[in-house]
């Protein structure tokens, strides 16, 4: 063993180098402040390690970026932890660099002979900043996408070169970010900014070594690096890991890690309204609101640029009389301003119901896309297709058109901005279900707000009929009415009623007979058509009432003789033409709207989540 | 970062007056440094090894043909296998995932994988007046119609892979489509 070591050491000088490094004299006593460069280096190595393993899974394209991250997060053992460590370490790294720069300014450690060391440290900070900003897009989720779109859009604020820079950044004319944005950002993230960081780190190390040697000459006390400074530094590295793990698990084990929102939607209509910059840019974000749009270049480029310039000049200010005092006061004021702005921004968002609603909607959507991915797998066109084809997601968006008259009391998340200010048509929540029909055939409710109050059928033939014939029923007739309701509702074949429809097959058959026999009080077929009985044209057909085909038909053209015919109130025909180009809604949109109104979508049962 | 480089030694002169404190410092430095590095590395390596947990789909029973579409004279018919395929995160619906040779003899059907057990090339069927044979184009392994090797020293380590077949409802030909490890003498399903 000894001879092997000897052999190795003789050829490499490894042991001697270690001894030399260990004996590097550090001026002054060992200190905790001096652990920061070591912790920063360690955090970078941690990023390199976790980054490499993430790289082994990542696939940068619009159809696979989110999907590969989803795979790491949900299907690779420990993948979520790997991703969380990579994410939080970057933020801790940036925080440490900010801390170190501030420390250097406040203590005057940036002064001669350490000016270049200080510059290199600022450079490291800018590299991490750039790496975090490019890394943010790579998961291709709603937040990263929207935030990056805004950020790259800022380039347009620059005179003359703005447009060219934007094209270079996103890899094309835009406006949507795409495949080339991903490949470019990935290359910048892994190659330029991380590589640049490494290069600067080496340069900084060499410069610091030289500066320390110069300082050590005049120092009262000198301590060798090993082991008294070394163990403090090693402990600091472990603290970095501990902080990262605390951040990972700060919301408990169930929601540990970094959230992955729903896949980026390139449709501007579905822009994520709650996208915000990372914590370290929130101050600038808030600051930029102080300026009118056309002056955006000032808060986004000019002021931050001047501040960086000022920061770089601080080592030289410090030589002047009162220079160090100026540096300290300025740095403290700047910190106070940034913290104040940041706090103001977070407070504003916390108290903004629209912002909170957008977050809630996005949380719902990211949950939903996971359910769909588990249920049917991710198609080759990407996970966004799952949401685009999902009636539960698309229904509320499509219903916005209907909501100018109709009410739908769906989940608040799904309908964040659907509000029927003044309803003027029936409430379509659970349309054609038994409770809905029971209300319609109730003399007390038919002219109420949920049904005919605001439309022209109020007090019309149907309302008249219900009032006169269904008001005072004896027990037997009430039973029969229930059967009739069950029979009509069964026409809809609603997924939610599948079980009770099967259970009540006999009652449904009896109800159907009652309608077909047309005996008082169930003389529906006097006006409505029902399975060959009665004629079309006076009132909507009850054959297949509320079924997919029926609803799609009435949306396409309510004035068709099968529905309201000439009696149609104000409902527009959304697809009356055979030429799709002339219709308001496409066949697919109508299908999704229909499925949504009928509650026909995949629902993950609470008892059996997962595959 | 100098700390972890210097992970060795007694040679390192402590400079501390108190030797015990020096030892404690060294121990803390090594222990903390090593732990700090081990944690991310362990997590990373664990994720990298994830493919070892993945299992193949195993055999799947699939309806590949009907009896009347197969030649009655025993000529093998190459039938493509279309199935859903999952590639990491992507689910490809109804894709060609392989093919089998089906040979009908009376009411019975035999199925052979088209994949050569040697190196995974696709075996061809070559008809000839004498009755035809299977030939692998890559290393010229030849097989008879039952899939048995016909050369005295075949490049192929085993006969062609037979698949289980069931004729259901008198007409439907169902095959348990399965892949086997290549290059070995025994027929081992790919797990």
Find the mean pLDDT for residues A321-325: 92
Cross-strand partners of B95: B83
The torsion region of residue A546 among left (phi > 0), alpha (psi -120 to 50) and beta comes to left
Question: Do B8 and A1 form a contact (C-beta atoms < 8 A)?
Answer: no
- Chain A residues with CB-CB distance to B46 below 8 A: 77-78
Q: How far is CA A35 from the centre of its chain?
A: 37
**SS in 3 state form for A51-95?**
HHHHHCCCCCCCCCHHHHHHHHHHHCCCHHHHHHHHHHHHHHHHH
Q: Could you say which of B31, B47, B91 has the minimum Cβ distance to residue A78?
A: B47
The ranges of chain B with pLDDT < 50 are: 1-16
Question: Do A45 and B5 form a contact (C-beta atoms < 8 A)?
Answer: no
| pTM for the full predicted model | 0.89
Find the mean pLDDT for residues A443-451: 89
| Angle, helix A353-376 to helix A65-75, in steps of 10 degrees | 80
Q: Which of B88, B89, B92, B94 to mutate to test the interface with A (most CBs of A within 10 A)?
A: B89
Find the mean pLDDT for residues A312-334: 94
Q: What was the pLDDT predicted at A401?
A: 84
Q: Which of A229, A230, A377 to mutate to test the interface with B (most CBs of B within 10 A)?
A: A230
Does A67 lie at the interface with B, CB-CB under 8 angstroms?
Answer: yes
Q: Could you say which of A21, A46, A71 has the minimum Cβ distance to residue B6?
A: A21
Q: Could you say which of A71, A230, A376 has the minimum Cβ distance to residue B29?
A: A230
Find the mean pLDDT for residues A265-287: 91
- Chain A residues with CB-CB distance to B92 below 8 A: 380
Burial of A574 (0-12, 13-18, 19+ CB in 10 A): buried
Tokens 């700090």: give the residue: B36
Find the mean pLDDT for residues A344-367: 92
Q: What was the pLDDT predicted at A418?
A: 61
Does B38 lie at the interface with A, CB-CB under 8 angstroms?
Answer: no
Q: What was the pLDDT predicted at A57?
A: 97
A485: its two tokens:
């309701």
Given a cut of 90, is residue A121 above it in pLDDT?
Answer: yes
- Chain A residues with CB-CB distance to B19 below 8 A: none
Does B8 lie at the interface with A, CB-CB under 8 angstroms?
Answer: yes
Find the mean pLDDT for residues A284-296: 91
Chain-chain contact of B13 with A19 (C-beta, under 8 angstroms): yes
Chain-chain contact of B47 with A76 (C-beta, under 8 angstroms): yes
Identify the CA nearest to A585 among candidates A598, A569, A596, A601: A596
Does A79 lie at the interface with B, CB-CB under 8 angstroms?
Answer: yes
Identify the CA nearest to B89 among candidates A253, A369, A261, A608: A369
pLDDT per residue over A140-161, tens digit each?
999 999 999 999 999 999 999 9
Q: What was the pLDDT predicted at B2?
A: 39
- Chain B residues with CB-CB distance to A77 below 8 A: 46-47, 50, 53
Q: What was the pLDDT predicted at A419?
A: 62
Give the distance from residue B20's alpha carbon to the nearest chain A alpha carbon, in angstroms.
Answer: 12
CA distances from A123 to A126, A203, A300, B143 (A): 5, 11, 19, 68
- Chain A residues with CB-CB distance to B55 below 8 A: none
Tokens 């490094």: give the residue: A21
Q: What was the pLDDT predicted at A415?
A: 59
Cα–Cα distance measured from residue B80 to residue B84, given in angstroms and rounded to the nearest whole number: 13
Q: Could you say which of A18, A78, A378 has the minimum Cβ distance to residue B5?
A: A18
Q: What was the pLDDT predicted at A460?
A: 86
Chain-chain contact of B29 with A68 (C-beta, under 8 angstroms): no
Give the distance from residue A194's alpha carbon to the nearest chain B alpha carbon, in angstroms.
Answer: 18
H-helix segments, A249-322: 279-288, 297, 303-317
Q: Which of residues 157-176 of B touch A (CB under 8 A)?
A: none
Given a cut of 60, is residue A512 above it in pLDDT?
Answer: yes
A479: its two tokens:
């039973």
Does A4 lie at the interface with B, CB-CB under 8 angstroms?
Answer: no
Does A15 lie at the interface with B, CB-CB under 8 angstroms?
Answer: yes
Cα–Cα distance measured from residue A415 to residue A611, given in angstroms and rounded to the nearest whole number: 28
Find the mean pLDDT for residues A291-316: 94
Does B26 lie at the interface with A, CB-CB under 8 angstroms?
Answer: yes
In DSSP notation, B112-142 reads EESB-TTT-PBPEEE--TT--EEE-TTT--E
Q: Give percent above pLDDT 90 in chain A.
A: 69
Q: What was the pLDDT predicted at A557?
A: 93
Q: What was the pLDDT predicted at B5?
A: 39
Q: Which of B44, B46, B92 to mutate to test the interface with A (most CBs of A within 10 A)?
A: B44
Give the distance from residue A587's alpha carbon to the nearest chain B alpha carbon, in angstroms.
Answer: 23
Q: 3-class SS at A255? A: coil
Given a cut of 80, is residue A609 above it in pLDDT?
Answer: no
pLDDT per residue over A197-238, tens digit each?
999 999 999 999 999 888 888 888 888 888 888 999 999 999
Q: Could you say which of B9, B15, B39 has the minimum Cβ distance to residue A241?
A: B39
Does B17 lie at the interface with A, CB-CB under 8 angstroms?
Answer: no
A412: its two tokens:
């608040």
Longest dimension (CA), chain A: 112
Least reliable range by pLDDT among A454-458, A602-606, B171-175, B184-188: A602-606
Given a cut of 70, is residue A565 above it in pLDDT?
Answer: yes
pLDDT per residue over A156-197, tens digit each?
999 999 999 999 999 999 889 999 999 999 999 999 999 999
Residue of chain B whose alpha carbon sits nearest to that of A85 = B40
- Chain A residues with CB-CB distance to B43 below 8 A: 50, 53, 78, 81-82, 85
Chain-chain contact of B47 with A41 (C-beta, under 8 angstroms): no
Q: What was the pLDDT predicted at A474?
A: 87
Given a cut of 60, is residue A431 above it in pLDDT?
Answer: yes
SS3 of chain A: helix, strand, coil, percent, to 5:
65, 0, 35
Cα–Cα distance measured from residue A74 to residue A284, given in angstroms and rounded to the nearest whole number: 34
């Amino acid at each position: 063993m000894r001879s092997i070591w000897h052999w190795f050491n003789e050829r490499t000088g490894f042991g001697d180098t270690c001894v030399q490094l260990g004996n590097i004299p550090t001026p002054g006593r060992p200190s905790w402040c001096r652990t920061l460069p070591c912790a920063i280096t360690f955090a970078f190595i941690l990023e390199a390690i976790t980054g490499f393993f993430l790289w082994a899974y990542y696939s940068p394209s619009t159809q696979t970026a989110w999907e590969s991250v989803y795979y790491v997060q949900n299907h690779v053992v420990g993948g979520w932890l790997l991703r969380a460590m990579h994410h939080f370490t970057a933020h801790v790294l940036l925080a440490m660099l900010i801390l170190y720069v501030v420390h250097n300014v406040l203590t005057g450690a940036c002064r001669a002979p350490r000016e270049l060391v200080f510059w290199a440290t600022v450079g490291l900070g800018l590299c991490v900043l750039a790496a975090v900003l490019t890394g943010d897009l790579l998961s291709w989720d709603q937040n990263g996408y929207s935030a990056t779109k805004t950020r790259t859009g800022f380039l347009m604020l620059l005179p003359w070169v703005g447009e060219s820079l934007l094209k270079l950044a996103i890899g094309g004319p835009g406006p949507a970010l795409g495949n080339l944005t991903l490949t470019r950002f990935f290359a910048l993230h892994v190659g330029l900014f991380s590589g640049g960081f490494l290069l600067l780190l080496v340069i900084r190390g060499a410069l610091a070594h030289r500066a320390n040697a110069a300082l050590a000459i005049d120092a009262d006390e000198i301590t060798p690096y090993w082991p008294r400074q070394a163990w403090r530094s090693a402990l600091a590295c472990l603290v970095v890991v501990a902080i990262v793990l605390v951040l990972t698990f700060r919301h408990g084990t169930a929601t540990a890690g970094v959230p992955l929102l729903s896949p980026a939607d390139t449709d501007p209509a579905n822009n994520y309204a709650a996208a915000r910059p990372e914590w370290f840019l929130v101050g600038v974000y808030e600051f930029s609101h102080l300026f009118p749009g056309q002056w955006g270049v000032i808060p986004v480029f000019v002021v931050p640029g001047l501040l960086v310039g000022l920061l770089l000049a601080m080592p030289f200010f410090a030589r002047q009389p009162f220079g160090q005092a100026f540096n300290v006061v300025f740095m403290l004021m700047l910190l106070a301003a940034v913290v104040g702005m940041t706090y103001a921004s977070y407070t504003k968002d916390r108290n903004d119901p629209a912002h909170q609603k957008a977050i809630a909607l996005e949380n719902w959507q990211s949950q939903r896309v996971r359910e769909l991915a588990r249920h049917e797998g991710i198609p080759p066109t990407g996970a966004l297709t799952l949401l685009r084809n999902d009636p539960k997601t698309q229904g509320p968006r499509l219903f916005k058109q209907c909501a100018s008259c109709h009410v739908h009391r769906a989940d608040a998340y799904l309908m964040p901005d659907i509000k029927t200010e003044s309803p003027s048509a029936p409430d379509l929540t659970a349309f054609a279900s038994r409770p809905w029909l029971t209300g319609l055939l109730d003399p007390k409710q038919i002219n109420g707000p949920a049904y005919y109050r605001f439309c022209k059928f109020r007090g019309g033939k149907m309302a008249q009929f219900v009032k006169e014939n269904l008001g005072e029923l004896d027990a037997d007739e009430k039973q029969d009415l229930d059967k009739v309701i069950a029979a009509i509702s069964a026409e809809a074949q609603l997924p939610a009623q599948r079980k009770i429809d099967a259970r009540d097959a006999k009652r449904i058959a009896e109800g159907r007979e009652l309608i077909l026999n047309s005996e008082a009080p169930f003389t529906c077929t006097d006006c409505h058509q029902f399975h060959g009985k009665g004629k079309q044209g006076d009132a909507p057909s009850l054959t297949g009432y509320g079924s997919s085909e029926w609803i799609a038909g009435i949306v396409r053209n309510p004035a068709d003789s099968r529905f309201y015919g000439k009696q149609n109130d104000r409902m527009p025909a959304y697809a009356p033409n055979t030429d799709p180009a002339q219709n308001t809604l496409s066949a697919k949109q109508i299908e999704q709207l229909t499925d949504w109104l009928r509650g026909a979508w995949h629902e993950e049962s609470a008892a059996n989540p997962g595959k | 970062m100098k700390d972890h480089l210097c992970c060795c030694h007694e040679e390192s002169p402590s400079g501390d007056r108190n030797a015990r404190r020096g030892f404690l410092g060294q121990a803390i430095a090594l222990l903390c440094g090593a732990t700090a590095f081990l944690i991310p590395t362990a997590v990373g390596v664990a994720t990298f090894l994830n493919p070892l947990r993945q299992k193949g789909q195993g055999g799947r029973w699939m309806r590949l043909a009907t009896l009347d579409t197969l030649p009655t004279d025993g000529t093998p018919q190459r039938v493509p296998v279309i199935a859903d395929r999952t590639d990491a995160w992507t689910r490809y619906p109804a894709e060609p995932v392989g093919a089998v040779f089906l040979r009908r003899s009376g009411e019975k059907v035999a199925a052979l994988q088209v994949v050569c057990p040697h190196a995974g090339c696709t075996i061809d069927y070559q008809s000839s007046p004498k009755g035809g044979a299977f030939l692998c184009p890559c290393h010229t392994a030849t097989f008879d119609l039952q899939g048995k090797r016909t050369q005295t020293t075949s490049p192929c380590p085993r006969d062609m892979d037979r698949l289980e077949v069931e004729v259901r409802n008198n007409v439907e030909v169902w095959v348990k489509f399965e892949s086997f490890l290549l290059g070995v003498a025994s027929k081992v399903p790919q797990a």
